[in-house]
Structures are given as C-alpha cells and as structure tokens.
Amino acid sequence: MKRRITEFSIKYPWTVIGIAVVITAFFAMQFPKMKVDTDPQNMLEADEPTRLFHQFTKEEFNLYDFIAVGVVNEPTAFTPDMLNRIYDITTEIEEIDGVILEDIMSLTTVDDIKQGGGGSLIIEPLMSEKIESQEEADYILGRIKNSPILKGKLASDDGKAIAIFIPLESKDVSHRVAGQIREITDRFGGGERYHIAGLPLAEDSFGSEMFVQMAYSAPAALLIIMLLLLAFFRQMRIVMAPMIVAMMSVIWAMGLLILTGNTVHIMSSMIPIFLIPISVLNSIHIISEFHDHYKRYKHKDATIRHSINELFVPMLFTSMTTVAGFVSLALTPIPPVRVFGIFVAFGIVVAWFLSLTINPAIGMLISTKALRNFGKADDSHGPLSKVMHTFRDLARRRNKSIIGVAAAVVVVAAVGLTLIEVNDNPVKWFKKSHPIRQADIVMNNHLAGTYMNYLVFESEDADYMKDPQVLGYMEKLQRELEKDEVVGGTTGLTDIVKKVRYELFGADSARAAIPDNQIEVAQMLFLFEMSGGDPDDLFKFVTNDYSKSNLWVQLRNGDNQLVQRVVDRGNAFMASNPPPEGLNIQWAGLPYINIEWQKQMVTGMRSSLLSSYLVVFIMMIFLFRSLRWGLISMLPLSITIMAIYAFIGYIGKPYDMPVAVLSSLTLGLSIDFAIHFIQRLRMIHARTNNFNESFHEIFEGAGRAISRNVMVIAIGFIPMMFSTLVPYITVGSFFLAIIVVSGLVTMLLLPALSVAFNRTLLPVIKKATGKVADRASGRAA
C-alpha cells in the first residue's frame, strides 16, 4: 500500500498536486456558507432539560436576556443634569433595533409604587419627565432606596452608580446594540463613566473577537512555522511542501465542517490553530530524513523512497494516536466539543495522507540543481546536535537521578491534582483590561449584579401563588439566599404584595408583610393592576393564572463556582424545609445553564481522557508488540498531563473549558515523541545489535527530528499567547508548556530508562535471524 502511494506520487507529481488542488478548491468554496454560533447554551444538547426549562421560563414569564448600562459618577450620579442625560439616553436606546422597548428598566421607565397627594396611591415611573432641582434628584434616589423591588438594582445606595437594563430580542444582537449604545453615551455623556455589561454581551462579543483572532493567529502560526523550517532546512522550495500540506488540511477540515452544516463555535474556531502545527509534524520527519540522507543517495526518488519506508510505521501510529486523542472528544456530551474533536481528527488524517503524497510530489518537482547543496551542511555539528549530545550525556551518566526526579514530579503532581478547582465565567474570557471585564467589575461592585438566575415556583392549581403560606415560604427562601454575599438581591411576587400593602396603608412599615389571608393578597395584586402598575411587570414574577411564580435571584459574580454555591444554599434550604404541598421549585437562568454544562464537561472530559488513554495504550502494546515498551511509551504523556494539571492546581488557575480540552491534545501529541523515539531506537538496534551504538545514533537524525518537532509545535502556538481573549492565551501558553515538558521527558527519561534497563529492553540478539537480519542487511547495502 505505502509503496504504491509513494510510487504514484513520485511518478505523477502533477496529477497528485492537481487532484489535491481541485479537492481543496471544492472545500474552500464552502467557506462563504460559514455560520457562527457563540452561544454557550449550545454547549448543551438542544433537548437538554436544563436548557428547555430555561427556555420555558423565559416564555412563561416573558423574560429576555439583557445587557446592562452602568453610569458611575463621583461624588454622586444623582444630579439634575445627570438624570436628565439618562432620560435622553434611555429615550434614544428605546429606538435601537432589537431592543424590547417596553421592558427597558431605567429610572425613566420603571414604575414606583408610592403615596401621592391626598393620601392617594400612585404607580408611575420614577422619573416621568426631566427634572430641574437637586431636591427632585435626591427624592428619586430616596424612592429607589425605599423600594425592595428597586433598591440596589437601578442605583447604588450611595447614589454613585445608576443602571439601565436593556432586554434584547436575542442574544446575538448584543454586540451591535452595545456599539450603538456606546455611540449614544458618547454623544450625551459628560465627565461620568459609562459601562456596558452582561453575559449575553460577553458571549456575543467573544464571537466577533474570535474571528479577529482566527484571522490573525492562524496565518501568524503558519508564518512562524515557515520561518522556523527555513532556519532548519535553508531551502524555501522544500519548506513550501509542509506549508501546503498544513493549509490544505485546514481547508479540508473546515470545509467539511461547514459542508456538513455545523456551526463555527468557540471550540471549532480553534481548529485551524490546532491543525497547523500538528499537520506539519509528519512533513518535518520526512524532510529531516530526506535532508539527512540526500547527500548519500544523491537521487530524489531513492531518498524519498528511503525516507517514507523508514517513517511509514511511526508516522501511521503517531497520526493514529493523535486521532484517537481527538476522536475521544466525540464521547463528551457537549456538541461543540464533539464537533471540534471529530474535525481536528479528520484534519489529521488528511494531513497524514497529504504528507505521504504532496511531500514526495513536490520533492520530485524541485530541480536537482536547486537541491545541490541540500543537506551538505553537516547537521551533526550544528547547535541542535550539541543540545542532543548534552541530553545523551545526561541520560547516560545521570540516568538514576533523572528517574528519581521523574518519580518525585509524579508524587508532587499527584498532590497538585487534588487542588484543581473547576470554574468558568464567559465574562472572564476577556482580559482584565477589556471594557467588558471592566464594566463587569465596576457594575457588580456598585449594584446588585448583572447576572440573573431564576427560581421557578410551579404548581398545578390556578391562584396557588396567592396562598400566604406559599408566599411566606418564598420570603424565607429569599432571606436565606441573601445571606450569600454574591447574591445582590432577590425579587419576587412577595415584594410586590408587601410594597403595595405598605403604600396602601400610608407607608406603614408594620404592614410591609405578607397578609395572612388569600383574599387580601389577591386584592393587593389587583390594586397593583388598578393603580397604573404595568401588568407586564407583574407577569414577570407570576403567570397570569397565578399557578407559577418566578423569583429573581440577582448575582454579583458569574463564576460558576459561586453560582453553584448559591444554588447549593437554596437547595439545602429546600431539603431541610420542604416546600408546601403541591409546590415544585426549579432553577433557571443563564448562569445556572453555565454551571450545568460545566458539570457535563468535567465528567465528559474525564471519560473521554480515560478512554483515549486506554485506546492509545492498547495501540502502543500492539505497535511495539511488548507490554514493557507499551508502558514506557505512556510515561512522557502521563507525566506531562499530571505535571501540567498539577501546575494548574497549584497556581489556582481555574479548570475551564479550554483547559479541559487540552488533556486530549496532550495525550495525542506527547505520545508522538515517544513513538518516534522508541520505534526508531528499536529499528536502529535491530540494525546495530549493540546498545551503545543504538543509543549513540538515536540522538542524531531521529533526535534532531523530534526536537525540531518540539520546537515547531511550541513556537507555532505562540501567536495565541498575544490574543486579547483568555481562552486563546490559555491554550497557547499551556501548549508551549505541554510540548516542552513532554519533549524533555521523552529525550531524558526514556533514554535514562533504556540505559538503566538496557539488558531487558534492548537485548543483544546472539543470532541474527529472519526479518531482523534481512532489514539489517538491507540497510547496510
């Protein structure tokens, strides 16, 4: 098989390149059909119960995802000027497309229940027209502080911050709407500062910035890798081959992804940046081999035949193990991660096949003249060789210390693994200096929070929610949740009933309580509707048949860990204080959805890592036909994964989505180094039948090829470290660490082990028989 593919490429290079170009063009034509999706909700299956319930809650209570505009001014934002500006700004925001104008919550739109002239009850906007005096401004702040429904939400108690909540038709307009709001605040604003925050904005903006990153990181990686290869091989035409293989693999993989109707999600946007370094690996081995032997064979076709022959098995296995690492992601319950895994795996298969065909084809097309100095420079004295020789000396002389250090690392890492904290927050996908992060910090500092969870009270019976017992239970639950400092406030039907009753009895604090009979509750609510209260405001807290009610739980922080803490607190309360008969209580909200998918991600990643670990192990036993070598080959990746994750545990970096995905990558890539090292050490040994000779030689050609690969991958991911988006930075920097660590383990621990156990691992075969003898003689010829 392998011979036929290679022979065909050698004989008909133009045909091979032509076919590849046609297929590439076909996949490239799919690109305009690309659909983007940045909604973390899609991290869950479309029919996932948590997600369906959230959707149900939104529809049942007419809720929309919202973004929040915050205005901060020192010493106070409550001056007539400022408030009038907010009046104008709100009026203009109402006209933006995609904004649910009826539901905007601003000083100028939100109803306040209060005492009017002649002891009357009034429900009217806090600020229905522009004001003139400081007294009026102070009065408005006083009203906000006095209302359990508005306190801390529309303005901070110290009056320094004011918020406008802007509901949106859908999350995917947030980035555009935020831009339009910024234009408005720039136009009206004075010295005060405006901030725009909210989960939908973070999620949508991430999508737009993601594409900038893609457009920048992928070509940057290509360029850097090309320069590096040029430095290695000093022959532009040869270096073009792996570049073409990389680009084609990316185009095929992304093209197929789009063609099959998949959307480009946060995860799949990383496919090119992952594929580029991985897809050049095989090419580097082929070129290295070609480079080292060209001067011996003098003929291109003979050198190519030799190189492919030598590398076919390790290349096949390294590609298969990397594929296994990524395909295992298909076992996760998270659709975008599945898509990512499958299409990276597909790209690797493509890269493997193209490496075997495009490289020889391009090699054949390069004129012999151009290659006349190729490989002449003696690599065995280059800087890379010097490093390799140092490693060789270290591994031979200090093999016991190396094994000892590795063992110590494993022990220290085992402790670190227990320190890992699972956490994520889409807002923190942006750097701390990013306006979205800044807005998040400032607004959640001053106000009751920009993250909204819901606790939905459900029953079968109409009017159930008017029952004083039910409202009393809700009130207790509210007080319990508010004990957590992350909870900025809770708002429910209880607060409306209490507020109406309080104002009805002439601002009598003793009456700010749930009445003890249902008729009175019903009439308080009717009074709310009669005195100008917007029924829509009421029906955000209760369904119109009063069978279901919605308690708003406003959070100051969207970290999954903290959201989980609040959820746990609520659940614990409900477990020890069972709700009244017939009442069922469930969580909903974007932050709640995020903790749900994170749970699935953690368990999903664990099983995917374990299964791919097992598959790779079995493949190794099969490849080396030795349990011992199989075990040893698993060492570099095992130690690397442990060390990297322990490091995450020790420095307190949260285990989030990109970190989770890295485990599969580590597995797929670190094993490659081990395969090349072991497979080629054994091939050399079969030829030399002398441990010292084999040990000496592995650090030459093969050692250089492996270390070139280490450098290419490590450096290829560096552009990601300069991203403005945290997940990209995480992936870039951890990759660098992973590759360097697994490269070091491969080039130090594996040689050290082979020195320590050379008699069992690489025995001297007394009588050269059969296949080994054939190969050895073939080589010598």
Q: From the CB of 459, what's the least distance to another protein, in Å?
A: 16
Q: From the CB of 475, what's the least distance to another protein, in Å?
A: 20
**Is 773 one of the binding residues for another protein (CB under 8 A)?**
no
Token look-up 């708002």 returns: 491
Q: Which of 77, 123, 406, 471 is close enough to bind another protein by CB under 8 A? A: 123
Helical pair 335-365 and 236-259, crossing angle rounded to 10 deg:
150
Using the contact rule CB under 8 A, the part of the chain among 1-9, 513-521, 552-560, 584-592 near another protein is 513-521
Collect all residues with Cβ–Cβ distance below 8 Å to 597 and sequence separation of at least 6.
40, 43, 44, 334
Q: From the CB of 530, what's the least distance to another protein, in Å?
A: 6
Q: Which is nearer to another protein, 120 or 368 (CB)?
A: 120
**Is 415 one of the binding residues for another protein (CB under 8 A)?**
no
**Is 92 one of the binding residues for another protein (CB under 8 A)?**
no
Q: What are phi and psi of 113, to 5 degrees?
A: -95, 125
E strand segments, 269-352: none
Q: From the CB of 538, what's the least distance to another protein, in Å?
A: 8
**Is 170 one of the binding residues for another protein (CB under 8 A)?**
no
Whether residue 75 has a cis bond before it, omega within 30° of 0: yes
Q: Which is nearer to another protein, 66 or 232 (CB)?
A: 66
Q: From the CB of 488, what's the least distance to another protein, in Å?
A: 29
**What is the token pair recorded at 506?**
């002439």
Q: From the CB of 509, what's the least distance to another protein, in Å?
A: 16
Q: From the CB of 65, what's the least distance to another protein, in Å?
A: 18
Q: Which is nearer to another protein, 120 or 607 (CB)?
A: 120
**Is 460 one of the binding residues for another protein (CB under 8 A)?**
no
Size of the site for another protein (CB under 8 A): 39
**Is 463 one of the binding residues for another protein (CB under 8 A)?**
yes
Q: Which is nearer to another protein, 116 or 142 (CB)?
A: 116
* Chain CA centroid to CA 185, Å: 32
Q: From the CB of 501, what's the least distance to another protein, in Å?
A: 8
**Is 75 one of the binding residues for another protein (CB under 8 A)?**
no
Q: Which is nearer to another protein, 468 or 654 (CB)?
A: 468
**Is 261 one of the binding residues for another protein (CB under 8 A)?**
no
**Is 544 one of the binding residues for another protein (CB under 8 A)?**
yes
Q: Which is nearer to another protein, 114 or 779 (CB)?
A: 114
Q: From the CB of 64, what's the least distance to another protein, in Å?
A: 13
Using the contact rule CB under 8 A, the part of the chain among 327-335, 372-380, 536-544, 663-671 near another protein is 536-544
Q: Which of 4, 22, 47, 118 is close enough to bind another protein by CB under 8 A? A: 118
For residue 364, count other CB atoms closer than 10 A to its CB: 18
* Chain CA centroid to CA 669, Å: 19
Q: From the CB of 161, what's the least distance to another protein, in Å?
A: 27
**Is 535 one of the binding residues for another protein (CB under 8 A)?**
yes
Q: From the CB of 124, what's the least distance to another protein, in Å?
A: 5
Using the contact rule CB under 8 A, the part of the chain among 122-130, 188-196, 446-454, 710-718 near another protein is 122-130
Q: Which is nearer to another protein, 204 or 467 (CB)?
A: 467
Q: Which of 32, 75, 119, 578 is close enough to bind another protein by CB under 8 A? A: 119
For residue 618, count other CB atoms closer than 10 A to its CB: 12
Q: Which residues of 519-551 are buried (b: 16+ CB within 10 A; e: fewer)?
A: eebebbbebbeebebbeebeebbbbeebbbbbb
Contact pattern from residue 98 through residue 117 relative to another protein, giving x for each residue in contact according to CB under 8 A and a dash for the rest: ---xx-------------x-
Q: Quick one: which of 158, 169, 201 has its CA closest to 450? A: 201
75 close to 156: Cβ distance less than 8 angstroms: no
* Chain CA centroid to CA 150, Å: 36
Q: Which of 157, 545, 568, 774 is close enough to bind another protein by CB under 8 A? A: 545
Q: Which of 11, 25, 29, 120 is close enough to bind another protein by CB under 8 A? A: 120
Q: Which of 42, 180, 309, 518 is close enough to bind another protein by CB under 8 A? A: 518
How many CA atoms lie within 13 Å of 109's alpha carbon, on the beta-carbon side?
Answer: 22
Q: From the CB of 190, what's the least distance to another protein, in Å?
A: 24
Using the contact rule CB under 8 A, the part of the chain among 284-292, 368-376, 535-543, 664-672 near another protein is 535-543
Please classify residue 64 by burial: count the beta carbons closer than 10 Å to its beta carbon, then call 0-12 exposed, 13-18 middle and 19+ buried. middle
**Is 527 one of the binding residues for another protein (CB under 8 A)?**
yes
Q: Which is nearer to another protein, 517 or 777 (CB)?
A: 517
Q: Which is nearer to another protein, 169 or 482 (CB)?
A: 169
**Is 403 one of the binding residues for another protein (CB under 8 A)?**
no
Binding to another protein, residues 469-498 (CB under 8 A): none
**Is 88 one of the binding residues for another protein (CB under 8 A)?**
no
For residues 557 and 484, give the distance between their C-alpha atoms in angstroms, rounded to a whole number.
11
Q: Quick one: which of 500, 484, 499 has its CA closest to 449? A: 484
Q: From the CB of 477, what's the least distance to another protein, in Å?
A: 24
What's the 3-state SS for 665-713?
HHHHHHHHHHHHHHHHHHHHHHHHCCHHHHHHHHCCHHHHHHHHHHHHH
For residues 504 and 309, give the distance between their C-alpha atoms in angstroms, rounded to a whole number.
91
**Is 504 one of the binding residues for another protein (CB under 8 A)?**
yes
**What is the token pair recorded at 510?**
């003793």
**Is 516 one of the binding residues for another protein (CB under 8 A)?**
no
Collect all residues with Cβ–Cβ distance below 8 Å to 78 and sequence separation of at least 6.
137, 138, 140, 141, 155, 159, 162
Contact pattern from residue 23 through residue 62 relative to another protein, giving x for each residue in contact according to CB under 8 A and a dash for the rest: ---------------------------------------x
Q: Quick one: which of 468, 454, 460 has its CA closest to 570? A: 454
Q: From the CB of 156, what's the least distance to another protein, in Å?
A: 27
CA 529-533-535 angle, to 5 degrees, is 65
Contact pattern from residue 126 through residue 165 relative to another protein, giving x for each residue in contact according to CB under 8 A and a dash for the rest: --x-------------------------------------
**Is 507 one of the binding residues for another protein (CB under 8 A)?**
no
Q: Which of 81, 183, 393, 529 is close enough to bind another protein by CB under 8 A? A: 529
**Is 763 one of the binding residues for another protein (CB under 8 A)?**
no
Tell me which long-range contacts 760-763 makes (C-beta under 8 A, separation of at least 24): 760/628, 761/628, 761/629, 761/632, 762/681, 762/682, 762/685, 762/691, 762/694
502 close to 509: Cβ distance less than 8 angstroms: yes
Token look-up 């012999």 returns: 368
E strand segments, 172-285: 193-197
How many CA atoms lie within 13 Å of 562's alpha carbon, on the beta-carbon side?
Answer: 16
Q: From the CB of 519, what's the least distance to another protein, in Å?
A: 5
Helix, strand, coil % in the chain, rounded to nearest 5: 70, 10, 25
238 close to 208: Cβ distance less than 8 angstroms: no
DSSP symbols for 35-101: -B---GGGGS-TT-HHHHHHHHHHHHTT---EEEEEEE-SS-S-SHHHHHHHHHHHHHHTTSTTB-G
For residues 330 and 607, give the distance between their C-alpha atoms in angstroms, rounded to a whole number.
11
**Is 510 one of the binding residues for another protein (CB under 8 A)?**
no
**Is 746 one of the binding residues for another protein (CB under 8 A)?**
no
Q: What are phi and psi of 589, to 5 degrees?
A: 115, 155
**DSSP SS3 for 579:** coil
Q: Which of 183, 508, 536, 693 is close enough to bind another protein by CB under 8 A? A: 536
- Residues at the interface with another protein (CB under 8 A): 62, 94-95, 101-102, 116, 118-125, 128, 463, 466, 504-505, 515, 517-520, 522-523, 526-527, 529-536, 538, 544-545
